[in-house]
Amino acid sequence: MNAPDAIHLDERRIDAGEIRARQAHVLHRVPVFVPALCRVRQGEKLVQWDEQSMRVGTQHLILLPAGRELGIVNSPGAQGMYVADVVALTPDLLRNFRQRHGEIIDQHANSSTDLCVPLDRHMSIAWDNLLASIASDAPQSMRAHYAEGVLLALSLNGAVGPLLIDRRDPLGARVQQLLMQDPAFDWTVANVADRLNLGASTLRRQLADEGSSFSRILEQVRLGLALQWIQTSHRPIGEIAEASGYASASRFAVRFRQHYGLSPRELRAAIDLTV
């Protein structure tokens, strides 16, 4: 099955497409209409998103979050062909996955915004099983089973986050998922609204309708991730403050105490990180 680089397979089905090319080509602002995954089989792909870019070959899995626009350069390899497989996921699959495996997702979450993830052994096995199930015309329930295997492998690498932003989620949840990808970024209402294809005033109004606000969600994300890092890592508290988006360690400590009732150092002293 051949499919163009604009990912628009049926969002009700987990299905696969193949992209083939004999000549290198550049594509600007490629829209992703449904959440998908891509792996290059021959040649290499340059992926550009936000202000990042990465050149990948056969040893990466590429995340294609719904609603994004990407810059892409596809280049044939030594055999004279560019070949890649694309698997379109479904919003229902991702929502169900988050509900069932939220603890694993949260436990391994990190601030990476990478859309190109190095394959490990578990990811490779899960990907091959998923493609085999689609190639054999397996029922959707079986395809979903193998797709969840790929998502679990990504979660264990802390890399699944960009796929889990669902445009039909409550807006506050979508904002939260976006901010969690990079809590140290200088987020504003304007740049978040732009990422979600909304106007800034619309974002403020819809969050207010949900009983929330941008500033409240931003602080919840930053303090929540800081809490996790203090509890689960040996990173210095000053480094955690910076990674959480606080330019001032003292300001971070004040906000942390106000939110959780004790300071970061008091919490660090109270837990055991020797295991």
Is 131 inside any structural domain? yes
Q: Backbone phi, then psi, for 200, in 5-degree steps?
A: -60, -40
Angle of CA points 133, 159, 171, to nearest 5°:
100
Q: Same structural domain for residues 127 and 36?
A: no
pTM of the complete model: 0.67
Report the Cα–Cα distance between both ends of the chain, in Å, rounded: 50
| Domain containing residue 35 | 15-88
124, 141, 163 - which closes a domain? 163
- Residue 63 is part of a domain; what is its CATH number? 2.60.120.810
46, 65, 88 - which closes a domain? 88
Is 2 inside any structural domain? no
The number of domains in the chain is 3
Q: Same structural domain for residues 189 and 266?
A: yes
Q: Summarize pLDDT for 61-101 with one digit per residue, the tens.
A: 999 998 787 888 999 998 899 999 999 999 889 989 988 99
Is 77 inside any structural domain? yes
Q: Backbone phi, then psi, for 269, in 5-degree steps?
A: -70, -25
Is 275 inside any structural domain? no
Q: Supply the pLDDT for residue 5.
A: 42
- Residue 201 is part of a domain; what is its CATH number? 1.10.10.60
pLDDT at 137 over 70: yes
Q: Same structural domain for residues 144 and 221?
A: no
Task: Kindly state the average pLDDT of the residues 197-203.
Answer: 93
pLDDT at 234 over 50: yes
Q: Supply the pLDDT for residue 272.
A: 58
Q: Same structural domain for residues 157 and 203?
A: no
